[in-house]
């Protein structure tokens, strides 16, 4: 089955450019602002959208995404509203893949089968669930594949060559290489190490490899894009959203436009990367 | 394997770290290789007599084991029913059962060549015990502690600092034990090469729940032989309080295959389960996945984790060890609860009648004993785990009683 993600990465390959993958948290700082940003992301250059499912205990996330999760939950975010955001986005865009990213408990609590049918119906393309390693594949990964969703796995510097095949076995859509040992929003990776790691993963799979964690500027994004099939930016965009709140926590007017302008700069970095490299 | 071994309730977990559907290894990929490594290292250590001998030596000479099995005559008389024995783990070095586990894990960490120890703490007892073994073996120690807990357990914060540990305040969430655990996990994924995460209870990803239980089982094993010596038979019932469930698992596990022994775990009912302000994951929660394992959790309709409430910082955890979840579902153990108020009463009663100032955590166990014992015959042998002493709690208790120190 060819999924939206497969098609998107095939097109990027044909155009000989890297993909730009954006992360925002659903409902941060509120439903309407997320929807406005979401709808503007493809126009601002996002090739794939990761939408965070807020969870009270984001164990793999740093302060920026922890805070975004808290803002979202305070403004009433929930799994149903996250799915509603996807549904509304899909009414205007049938090409840009959306990957839901988060932790297992809210999915488990809704019930895996019910969640999957709702996600498919809303127009979700893939899932990244941080606390489900391949050892727990029967929980969600296998049912998700049967439901036609891509299950995107994280590979990390601690995933050695012996373990990689197990990590890649049920991965589809793309592989997400976490470029550092650590939480989101921490130290930036060394381009040299990233290139070597991407090459290592590509010896084991023909799937596209996207790289994330610690990419904050258009220059860093460009650097990564020269070495990988995709660059993921999360905390920096989430910080830009946080900067749109006034002292009382209210969203300033024009927030979505300014966040999208920042996204555009990052996208230009990614999309110009190979062109600059070729000069 | 003999038939009786095949039917044993003590065989868990399976190779995936499951007790029935509970347990498992729900961790980020970065941690997965570390968790697998730990499992291998622990299995090897467990089967190494030299490792066991090292633990035994330190338990005798440093911790002060075996702890007495003490007949609480005046409480027995007061309640007018079962004979009440206390397993005196509050007499251990550092004042609680937590050191049993810390000793085992630090020796394992050193076998694994780890050079830095991190831990989470709620009441501060596990933090103190971890800081203690780190001082003893010369390893740097970082303890994560929620800001709410730092406020209500000040003496322990100072103790940890005296012992040379760095105490890192955690402000996320409500600043209690679960938040401290999140922060410790974040440290671990960042410092994978040299760092050992010394978890303080029977929670976390496999092998932690089984490993911590094994290190705490010295409580139940001693109880079994001490009771044999005193009364020539098995006890009739066991009672222990439950935060994550380590002191309880340690007492219960050696008795799981003795069907005549009734087992009671006492959760913290806070202001009352009906008020929603409690920490009773089994009585007031539902199945979910947090901190690396599937178990019962306090959560809302959306699967978001709810903050617990208890007068006792050590019981203020929204989950419970996965083996308890399984013992609950199979019915082998019964889980009950005691409120803040009942625990405070038991705290005072024990102080006055036995000359033992208990920690607020085992005061919950005693509160249940005060209801159970009167319903039982005088030849009924009841053991309650006196898993901690109350020195750390005197300021908080004074506060609750309206006394200014
Ligand atoms: C004295 C005492 N008892 C009990 C507990 C609860 O932990 P557990 O249920 O793992 O024994 C604590 C935790 O800090 C404690 O200090």
Instruction: State how far residue B196 is from chain A, nearest Cα, in angstroms.
Output: 15
The Å distance, Cα B283 to ligand 1 centre, comes to 18
The reported pLDDT for the residue numbered A277 is: 53
Burial of B72 (0-12, 13-18, 19+ CB in 10 A): buried
Q: Nearest to residue B322, comparing CAs of B80, B57, B18?
A: B18
pLDDT at B163 over 70: yes
Those residues whose C-beta lies under 8 Å from the C-beta of residue B169, and which sit 6 or more positions away, are B145, B146, B147, B150, B175
Query: Ligand 1, closest atom to CA B123?
Result: 14
Interface probe, candidates B16, B29, B294, chain A, greatest A C-beta count within 10 A: B29
Q: Nearest to residue A104, comparing CAs of B129, B24, B148, B214?
A: B24
The reported pLDDT for the residue numbered A134 is: 97
Cβ-Cβ contacts under 8 Å, B295 against chain A: none
Specify the DSSP class assigned to residue B261.
S
Say whether A61 is catalytic: yes
How far is residue B58's CA from residue A1's CA, in Å, rounded to a whole number? 61
The reported pLDDT for the residue numbered A190 is: 78
Say which of A6, A28, A61, A229 is annotated catalytic: A61
Instruction: Give tens-digit pLDDT for B84-140.
Output: 999 999 999 999 999 999 999 999 999 999 999 999 999 899 999 999 999 999 999
Q: Which residue of A has its CA nearest to B307?
A: A56
Say whether A113 is catalytic: no
- State whether residue B106 sits within 8 Å of chain A by CB: no
Average pLDDT over residues A201-221: 94
Angle at B77 between CA B74 and CA B78, to 5 degrees: 85
Determine if ligand 1 sits within 6 Å of the CB of residue B146. no
pLDDT at B288 over 50: yes
The more confidently predicted of residues B292 and B174 is B292
Share of chain B above pLDDT 70, in %: 99
pLDDT at A52 over 50: yes
Instruction: State how far residue B242 is from chain A, nearest Cα, in angstroms.
Output: 22
Strands of the sheet containing A19-25, edge to edge, are: A150-151, A126-129, A98-102, A48-52, A19-25, A230-233, A209-212, A175-178, A154-155
DSSP codes joined into one string, B87-145: E-GGGSGGGBTHHHHHHHHHHHHHHTT--EEEEEESSSHHHHHHHHHHHHHT--EEEEE
Cβ-Cβ contacts under 8 Å, A153 against chain B: 29
- State whether residue A152 sits within 8 Å of chain B by CB: no
Alpha helices in chain A (DSSP H): 4-14, 31-40, 63-74, 79-90, 104-110, 112-122, 141-146, 164-169, 191-202, 218-225, 235-242, 255-278
How far is residue A56's CA from residue A73's CA, in Å, rounded to a whole number? 8
Best residue for ligand 1 mutational test, from B144, B201, B316 (most atoms within 8 Å of Cβ): B201
pLDDT at B371 over 50: yes
Share of chain B above pLDDT 90, in %: 92
| Predicted structure pTM score | 0.97
The residue with tokens 């309880």 is B248
- State whether residue A111 sits within 8 Å of chain B by CB: no
The reported pLDDT for the residue numbered B1 is: 44
Specify the DSSP class assigned to residue B275.
G
Q: Which residue of B has its CA nearest to A58?
A: B182
pLDDT at A1 over 80: no
Q: At what angle do helices A218-225 and A255-278 cross, to 10 degrees?
A: 40
CB pair distance less than 8 Å for B299 and A109: yes
The reported pLDDT for the residue numbered A122 is: 98
Instruction: State how far residue A264 is from chain B, nearest Cα, in angstroms.
Output: 31
Determine if ligand 1 sits within 6 Å of the CB of residue B288. no
The Å distance, Cα B16 to ligand 1 centre, comes to 26
Give me the count of residues in chain B: 405
How far is residue B24's CA from residue B26's CA, in Å, rounded to a whole number? 6
The Å distance, Cα B242 to ligand 1 centre, comes to 7
Determine if ligand 1 sits within 6 Å of the CB of residue B365. no
The Å distance, Cα B130 to ligand 1 centre, comes to 14
Assign 3-class secondary structure to A80-129. Answer: HHHHHHHHHHHCCCCCCCEEEEECHHHHHHHCHHHHHHHHHHHCCCEEEE
Cβ-Cβ contacts under 8 Å, A112 against chain B: none
Burial of B207 (0-12, 13-18, 19+ CB in 10 A): buried
CB pair distance less than 8 Å for A105 and B192: no
pLDDT band at A279 (very low <50, low <70, confident <90, very high): very low
Query: Ligand 1, closest atom to CA B388?
Result: 1
Report whether B132 contacts B94 (CB < 8 A). Answer: yes
- State whether residue A17 sits within 8 Å of chain B by CB: no
How far is residue A23's CA from residue A5's CA, in Å, rounded to a whole number? 16
The set of long-range contacts for A252-258, using a CB threshold of 8 Å and a minimum separation of 24, is A255/A33, A256/A33, A256/A36, A256/A37, A256/A40, A257/A40
- State whether residue A128 sits within 8 Å of chain B by CB: no
Instruction: Give tens-digit pLDDT for B204-246.
Output: 999 999 999 999 999 999 999 999 999 999 999 999 999 999 9
pLDDT at B3 over 80: no
Q: Whose CA is nearest to atom 1 of ligand 1?
A: B388
Average pLDDT over residues A38-50: 98
How would you label A120-150 residue by residue, b for 16+ Cβ within 10 Å and e otherwise? eebbbbbbbbbbbbbbbbebbbebbbebebb
CB pair distance less than 8 Å for B303 and A105: yes
Interface probe, candidates A27, A52, A53, A56, chain B, greatest B C-beta count within 10 A: A56
Burial of B60 (0-12, 13-18, 19+ CB in 10 A): exposed
CB pair distance less than 8 Å for A133 and B27: yes
Specify the DSSP class assigned to residue A251.
B
- State whether residue B171 sits within 8 Å of chain A by CB: no
Cβ-Cβ contacts under 8 Å, B182 against chain A: 57-59
How far is residue A37's CA from residue A57's CA, in Å, rounded to a whole number? 25
The set of long-range contacts for B6-11, using a CB threshold of 8 Å and a minimum separation of 24, is B8/B256, B8/B257, B9/B256, B9/B257, B9/B327, B9/B330, B9/B332, B10/B253, B10/B254, B10/B256, B10/B257
Size of interface A-B (CB pairs under 8 A): 113
Instruction: Give tens-digit pLDDT for A212-267.
Output: 988 999 999 999 999 999 999 999 999 999 999 999 999 999 999 999 999 999 99
pLDDT at B356 over 70: yes
The reported pLDDT for the residue numbered B2 is: 46
Cβ-Cβ contacts under 8 Å, A103 against chain B: 289
């Amino acid at each position: 089955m060819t999924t939206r993600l497969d098609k998107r990465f095939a097109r990027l390959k044909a155009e000989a450019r890297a993909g730009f993958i954006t992360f925002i948290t659903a409902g941060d700082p509120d439903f309407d602002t997320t929807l406005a940003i979401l709808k503007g992301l493809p126009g601002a250059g996002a090739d794939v959208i990761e939408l965070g499912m807020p969870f009270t205990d984001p164990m793999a996330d740093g302060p920026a995404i922890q805070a975004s999760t808290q803002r979202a939950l305070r403004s009433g975010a929930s799994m149903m509203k996250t799915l509603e955001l996807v549904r509304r986005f899909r009414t205007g865009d049938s090409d840009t893949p959306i990957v839901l990213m988060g932790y297992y408990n809210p999915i488990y609590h809704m019930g895996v089968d019910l969640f999957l049918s709702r996600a498919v119906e809303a127009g979700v393309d893939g899932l990244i669930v941080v606390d489900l390693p391949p050892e727990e594949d029967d929980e969600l990964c296998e049912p998700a594949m049967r439901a036609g969703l891509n299950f995107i796995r994280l590979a990390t510097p601690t995933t050695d060559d012996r373990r990689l095949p197990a990590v890649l076995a049920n991965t589809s859509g793309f592989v997400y290489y976490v470029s550092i040992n650590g939480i989101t929003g921490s130290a930036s990776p060394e381009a040299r190490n990233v290139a070597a790691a991407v090459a290592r993963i590509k010896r084991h799979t023909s799937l596209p490899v996207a790289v994330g964690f610690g990419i904050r500027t258009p220059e860093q994004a460009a650097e990564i894009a020269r070495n990988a099939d995709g660059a993921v930016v999360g905390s920096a965009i989430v910080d830009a959203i946080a900067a749109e709140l006034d002292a009382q926590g209210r969203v300033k007017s024009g927030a979505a436009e300014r966040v999208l302008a920042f996204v555009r700069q990052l996208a230009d970095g990614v999309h110009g990367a190979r062109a600059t490299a070729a000069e | 394997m003999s038939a009786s071994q095949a039917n044993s309730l003590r065989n868990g977990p399976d190779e995936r770290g499951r007790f029935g559907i509970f347990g498992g290894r729900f961790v980020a990929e970065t941690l997965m290789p570390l968790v697998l490594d730990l499992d291998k290292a622990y299995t090897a250590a467990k089967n190494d007599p030299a490792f066991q001998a090292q633990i035994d030596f330190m338990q005798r000479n440093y911790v002060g084991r075996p702890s007495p099995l003490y007949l609480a005559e005046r409480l027995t008389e007061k309640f007018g029913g079962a004979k009440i024995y206390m397993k005196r783990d509050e007499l251990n070095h550092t004042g609680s059962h937590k050191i049993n586990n810390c000793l085992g894990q630090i020796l394992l960490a050193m076998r694994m060549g780890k050079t830095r120890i991190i831990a989470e703490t709620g009441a501060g007892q596990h933090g103190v015990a971890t800081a203690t073994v780190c001082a003893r073996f010369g390893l740097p120690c970082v303890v994560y502690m929620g800001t709410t807990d730092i406020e209500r357990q000040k003496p322990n914060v100072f103790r940890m600092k005296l012992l040379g540990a760095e105490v890192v305040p955690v402000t996320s969430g409500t600043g209690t034990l679960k938040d401290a655990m999140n922060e410790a996990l974040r440290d671990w994924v960042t410092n994978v090469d040299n760092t050992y995460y010394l978890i303080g209870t029977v929670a976390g990803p496999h092998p932690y729940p089984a490993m911590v239980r094994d290190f705490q089982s010295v409580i139940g094993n001693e109880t079994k032989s001490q009771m044999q010596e005193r009364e020539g038979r098995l006890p009739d019932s066991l009672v222990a309080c439950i935060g994550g469930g380590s002191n309880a698992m340690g007492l219960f596990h050696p008795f799981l295959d003795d069907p005549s022994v009734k087992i009671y775990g006492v959760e913290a009912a806070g202001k009352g389960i009906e008020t929603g302000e409690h920490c009773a994951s089994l009585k007031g929660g539902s199945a979910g996945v947090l901190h690396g394992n599937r178990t019962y959790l306090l959560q809302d309709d959306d699967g978001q984790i709810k903050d617990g409430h208890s007068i006792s910082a050590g019981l203020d955890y929204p989950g419970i060890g996965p083996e308890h979840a399984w013992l609950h579902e199979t019915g082998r153990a019964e889980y009950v609860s005691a409120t803040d108020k009942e625990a405070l009463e038991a705290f005072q009663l024990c102080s006055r009648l036995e000359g033992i100032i208990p920690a607020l955590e085992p005061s919950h166990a005693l509160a249940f004993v005060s209801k159970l014992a009167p319903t039982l015959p005088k030849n009924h042998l009841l053991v309650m785990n006196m898993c901690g002493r109350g020195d750390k709690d005197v300021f908080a208790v004074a506060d609750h009683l309206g006394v200014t120190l």
